[in-house]
Amino acid sequence: MREEKEFVKILELDNEFEAGLLSAELEKEEIPHRVKSHFDKAYDGLFQFQYGWGYLSAPARYQDKIEKIYLDLKKGEEFDD
């Protein structure tokens, strides 16, 4: 799949809620992206403890726009626990 190779890691994500909210915003903007959790059932979350919840990847050409959307969401305190 050629498109897969174009995806780069854009942001580290703190939790599932943050991932879902950001993903929904990117879908509204029709920005292709993927969310990858570091959770591995076999290791009962060990990798999430070491590496964080997960990350978002997308084509590099969208990086600036994604970071702006993310920061705007953070400013709105949408991700606070």
CA distances from 28 to 32, 33, 49, 53, 71 (A): 10, 12, 31, 23, 16
37 occurs within a structural domain: yes
80 occurs within a structural domain: no
61 occurs within a structural domain: yes
- State the amino acid at position 21 in one-letter form: L
Any idea what the CATH number is for the domain that residue 44 is in?
Answer: 3.30.70
Token duo for residue 3: 């498109």
31 occurs within a structural domain: yes
The domain of 45 spans 2-75
Counting every residue written for the chain, the total comes to 81
Give pLDDT, residue 1: 39
Query: How many structural domains comprise the chain?
Result: 1
81 occurs within a structural domain: no
Instruction: For the chain, 81 residues long, give each residue's pLDDT as a single digit of tens.
Output: 345 568 999 999 988 899 999 999 999 999 999 999 875 555 555 555 555 789 999 999 999 999 999 999 988 765 554
42 occurs within a structural domain: yes
